[in-house]
């Protein structure tokens, strides 16, 4: 099989995996890629980046200009949440930071504090609707990481996921499993600047 043929197959698998993610059939890139390869009867697995690029295309095809309007709205909503959480050094990450949202996206904010109960009290005091909360353990690059996750619904019905990490992790560099770059995110002041100068700015390596 030639290079062009294998590249075409990888693109087909990436497109199928992206479709599974976009439709909500799969939530994780790895499972989406495996299912896509099985559906197409091939053994080629695309990279996460290839899938992300196809997912971006599908979102653009289906959502058009409404996607950019929603991105601005989600970034404004993230800003409100980050102002509430300001003393805990919140960082906007995920697709709202990247500028690659699609219909199932939520707002992802990481902050640093050793006692999640303080964060919960603050959110309750602000009368924000907490949908779910609890400790989660995930594996990143072979390491087990524990953090406290809070899922909430904003006043305009956007979902937000707040990840509370220990103070010892503040400032640590982490590589993105999809784009393979360093996750820098946006702090409060940086987000304000983006909204002022270029509210739909993208932060992706392609």
Domain topology for 65-197 = Beta Polymerase; domain 2 (3.30.460)
* Start-to-end C-alpha separation, the chain: 28
pLDDT tens by residue, 154-196: 888 899 999 999 998 888 888 898 999 999 999 999 999 999 9
Region(s) of the chain under CATH 3.30.460.10: 65-197
Strands (E), 123-182: 129-140, 143-153, 159-165
pLDDT tens string 109-149: 999 999 999 999 999 999 999 999 999 987 666 677 789 99
* pTM summary value: 0.90
Q: pLDDT tens digit string along 39-62?
A: 999 988 999 999 999 999 999 999
Cβ atoms within 10 A of the Cβ of 81, count? 23
Task: Please state, in angstroms and rounded to a whole number, the distance separating the CA atoms of residues 8 and 72.
Answer: 35
Q: What tokens were used for 40?
A: 């197409």
Distance separating alpha carbons of residues 180 and 184, to the nearest angstrom: 12
């Amino acid at each position: 099989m030639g290079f062009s043929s294998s590249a075409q197959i990888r693109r087909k698998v990436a497109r199928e995996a992206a479709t599974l993610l976009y439709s909500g059939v799969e939530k994780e890139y790895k499972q989406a890629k495996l299912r896509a390869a099985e559906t197409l009867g091939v053994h080629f697995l695309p990279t996460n980046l290839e899938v992300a690029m196809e997912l971006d295309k599908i979102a653009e095809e289906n959502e058009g200009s409404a996607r950019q309007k929603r991105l601005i709205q989600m970034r404004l909503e993230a800003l409100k949440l980050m102002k509430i959480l300001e003393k805990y050094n919140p960082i906007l990450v995920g697709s709202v930071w990247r500028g690659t949202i699609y219909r199932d996206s939520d707002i992802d904010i990481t902050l640093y504090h050793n006692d999640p109960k303080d964060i919960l009290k603050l959110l309750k005091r602000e009368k924000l609707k907490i949908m779910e909360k609890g400790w989660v353990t995930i594996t990143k690059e072979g390491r087990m990481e524990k953090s406290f996750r809070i899922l909430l619904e904003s006043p305009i019905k956007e979902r937000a996921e707040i990840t509370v990490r220990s103070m010892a992790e503040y400032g640590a560099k982490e590589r993105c499993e999809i784009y393979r770059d360093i996750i820098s995110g946006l702090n409060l002041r940086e987000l304000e600047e983006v909204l002022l100068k270029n509210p739909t700015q993208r932060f992706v390596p392609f």
